Amino acid sequence: MPSNRIGRINEEIQRELSDQLRRLKDPRVSQTGMVSITRVDTTGDLRYARVYISVLDKSQEKDVLQGLKSAAGFLRRELGHALQLRYTPQLQFVADDSILHGAHILEVLRQVERQDEARSAEDSTPETEA
């Protein structure tokens, strides 16, 4: 099954790149708060890998992405040595906003829950007859 193989490769790339990020000397990456690789999507032919990055301080996100793009060649070489694949994928770094999107959905759900509780409280109060 090729999808299972690609899934394992994605996990290995994510693990190796996470390790390499800690050793990266570019100040745009190393001097920011927390940088996480949330997921990796590799094409079936292993030519390209889209690496999704989440940065704790969103104001530094563009600088971190620029730092990673400039270090992409170095990271690709190190990845090739570590994983020993026939083709080492070209790395494309992308900002991941899924955490922000998830937080927004959670807030909407909480608002709906509060509205339901308010309606329940209204319905349970006894009405006085005039």
The pLDDT tens digits of the residues spanning 69-102 come to: 999 999 999 999 998 888 899 999 999 887 777 8
The residue among 91, 15, 12 whose CA lies nearest residue 48 is: 91
Decide if 128 is inside a domain. no
Decide if 63 is inside a domain. yes
Q: What is the mean pLDDT of residues 109-122?
A: 89
**Spatial separation of the C-alpha atoms in residues 130 and 127, rounded to whole Å:** 10
Residue with tokens 């996990």: 11
Residue 57 pLDDT: 81
Contact 44, 87 (CB under 8 A): no
Decide if 115 is inside a domain. no
Structure tokens at 107: 């807030």
The residue among 127, 128, 62 whose CA lies nearest residue 94 is: 62
Decide if 66 is inside a domain. yes
What is the spatial order of strands in the sheet that 35-42 belongs to?
A: 35-42, 48-55, 90-95
Per-residue pLDDT for 124 more than 80?
Answer: no
Contact 17, 51 (CB under 8 A): yes
Domain hosting 67: range is 2-96
CATH number at residue 65: 3.30.300.20
Residue 1 pLDDT: 41
Decide if 73 is inside a domain. yes
62 phi/psi in degrees, rounded to 5: -65, -40
Percentage, residues of the chain above pLDDT 70: 94
Decide if 108 is inside a domain. no
Residue 3 pLDDT: 72
Decide if 29 is inside a domain. yes
Q: How many CB atoms lie within 10 A of CB 61?
A: 18
DSSP 78: H
Decide if 38 is inside a domain. yes
The total of structural domains in the chain comes to 1
- What is the model's pTM? 0.75
